[in-house]
Structure 1
Amino acid sequence: MRRVLITGASKGIGRAVADRLADAGHQPIGLARTAPPDFPGPFYPVDLADRAATAAALEQIVTDGAVDAVVNNAGFARFGTIGEIDLDDLYSTYDLNVRAAVQVVQAVLQGMRAAGWGRIVIVSSLTTLGTPERTPYAAAKAALETCTRIWAKELASTGITVNAVAPGPTETEMYRERSPVGSEREGRLLQNIPMGRVGAPREIAHAICSLLDEDAGYITGQIVRVDGGGSVSG
């Protein structure tokens, strides 16, 4: 049994990962602002935007037991064109997406190195390929993709792999806030997806969990796009 720390674990992709891991006999450890009543493992409620509270929660997590793998899934998005971006939104988006991921990995890295085994998966986004009105979010996710490649090289000799999964449009709360069912916006998005539909959280979770597998030890530094063919269309 592996203990897997998942940020943003209360809903959407993070929750789908937790359920899939639990079904496979592993122990998901949740980290998010609000603990759902039926989470299938230990849960540590914390706002990842609060650096001190995050540090305290991470200290408790590693005290409670070794963490074998991390899924950095927590995300925060603000939208707008280059002429509309609020700099505070830019900083807060970067902080929650990038700083929090670095803080989480640093907290568990010593234990992984000592064990000679570890898996780190970062949830990125298809917006890194260039989606209008997404500068803060896409820039933060692009930074995480670069971190993925750097950390993979730094940790390759330690038994720790580092990969990213970049979903296309996925049926989550964040997606639906911007693209209601049947809206003109969703129609435009679907035109660029050869499969003609958005993804389900469980489908993204499948890709993430495959990179956590025991036999995924020769896969590192990769950005896996799960997008219904959207990134190769046209």
Structure 2
Amino acid sequence: MNSRVALVTGAGSGIGAGTAKALAAQGNRVALVDRSDRAQAVADEIRESGGTAMAVQADISDPDAVTQAVEEVTATLGPVEVLVNNAGFARDNMVLDMPLADWDSVMATHLRGSFLMLKATAPAMREAGWGRVVNISSISALVDGDRANYVAAKAGLEGFTRATALDLAPFGITVNAIGPGVVVTEMTKVSAARAGRTLDEHIEVQRQSIPRGRVGTPHDIARAVLFFTAEDADYVTGQVIYVSGGPHG
């Protein structure tokens, strides 16, 4: 495949880090954007393996930070051709007990951040007549309890995917989404603690609901990203695929 410039948000750990590594392994030049400084270690690992990568620390809910980050990536690696909107976090609570700040912060990163990143990168894709955007949603977009903010944000992200796919299709840009099921990341530890379980106990409880009989890994999601971002995947757009080990609640 051609070497492309790929930008992955939330790339400091978990699905974002796994996706960045997978894209780099295919020869792409990868920019890892994260709110923390953890992406630097992932970028270093990619470079040590012979790949091309850079880390940028930025809050993607901040328009100025997004503009600055994309300008820095463009100056160093070239115009962004592949965007993976992965950044996100959970602030779970029963809706009646949910602070407004937790609602706003989740919406700001998942939805506002994805919008800002698309606005900042899609013009170069339009000019080139080629682009790939992949939004990382969640199986929780279908339904989940005690996390109305997260469910609403992910459901909104899927609607955003379909709408922007229509807007950008004439310019050779595809927009798709992936909805991971249970994938073991740093967020899994938080969920386990909230449920009053050890990490191993929590994983086992989750595993029992999955038809495939195992929990997911960042690699499982990265493989789906590689499909959507492939050179010859230009007839697939506006789609949401759930990578979740089979239908389950």
Q: Shorter-chain TM-score: which interval?
A: over 0.9
Q: CA RMSD in A?
A: 1.5
Q: What is the aligned counterpart of 2:32 among 21, 30, 33?
A: 30
Unpaired runs of 5+ residues, structure 2, are 47-52, 193-197
1:182 aligns with 2:182: no
1:78 aligns with 2:108: no
Shift of 1:26: 1.0
For 1:225, the equivalent position in structure 2 comes to 242
Shift of 1:198: 1.1
Shift of 1:187: 4.2
For 2:115, the equivalent position in structure 1 comes to 102
Q: What is the aligned counterpart of 1:200 among 217, 220, 224?
A: 217
How far apart, CA to CA, are the structure 1 residues paired with 2:220 and 2:100? Answer: 34
Which residue identity is paired with 1:125?
S
Which residue identity is paired with 2:11?
A
Shift of 1:127: 0.5
Q: Per the alignment, in what secondary structure is the counterpart of residue 9 of structure 1?
A: coil
Unpaired runs of 5+ residues, structure 1, are none
Q: Which region of structure 1 is more displaced relative to structure 2, 44-53 or 8-17?
A: 44-53
Q: Which region of structure 1 is more displaced relative to structure 2, 54-63 or 168-177?
A: 54-63
How far apart, CA to CA, are the structure 2 residues paired with 1:58 and 1:23? Answer: 22
Judge conservation of contact 1:62–1:108 (CA < 8 Å) in 2: no
Q: TM-score, normalised by structure 1?
A: 0.93
Alpha-carbon distance change, 38 to 189 in structure 1, aligned in 2, over 3 angstroms = closer
Listed as ranges, the matches of 1:46-195 within 5 Å are: 46-64=58-76, 65-179=78-192, 180-183=198-201, 185-195=202-212
For 2:8, the equivalent position in structure 1 comes to 6
Which residue identity is paired with 2:96?
G
Alpha-carbon distance change, 77 to 38 in structure 1, aligned in 2, over 3 angstroms = closer
Shift of 1:217: 0.5
Judge conservation of contact 2:86–2:136 (CA < 8 Å) in 1: yes
How high is the sequence identity, in percent, across the aligned residues?
A: 39
For 2:228, the equivalent position in structure 1 comes to 211
Which residue identity is paired with 1:16?
G
Q: Which region of structure 1 is more displaced relative to structure 2, 132-141 or 61-70?
A: 61-70
Q: Per the alignment, in what secondary structure is the counterpart of residue 145 of structure 2?
A: coil
Judge conservation of contact 2:60–2:117 (CA < 8 Å) in 1: no
Q: Which region of structure 1 is more displaced relative to structure 2, 89-98 or 34-43?
A: 34-43
Shift of 1:62: 2.9
Alpha-carbon distance change, 221 to 38 in structure 1, aligned in 2, over 3 angstroms = closer
How far apart, CA to CA, are the structure 2 residues paired with 1:49 and 1:112? Answer: 21
Judge conservation of contact 2:10–2:16 (CA < 8 Å) in 1: yes
How far apart, CA to CA, are the structure 1 residues paired with 2:41 and 2:186? Answer: 18
For 2:49, the equivalent position in structure 1 comes to none
Q: Per the alignment, in what secondary structure is the counterpart of residue 19 of structure 1?
A: helix
How far apart, CA to CA, are the structure 2 residues paired with 1:48 and 1:54? Answer: 6
Q: TM-score, normalised by structure 2?
A: 0.88
Q: Per the alignment, in what secondary structure is the counterpart of residue 215 of structure 1?
A: coil
Judge conservation of contact 2:188–2:199 (CA < 8 Å) in 1: no
Alpha-carbon distance change, 28 to 189 in structure 1, aligned in 2, over 3 angstroms = same
For 1:42, the equivalent position in structure 2 comes to 54
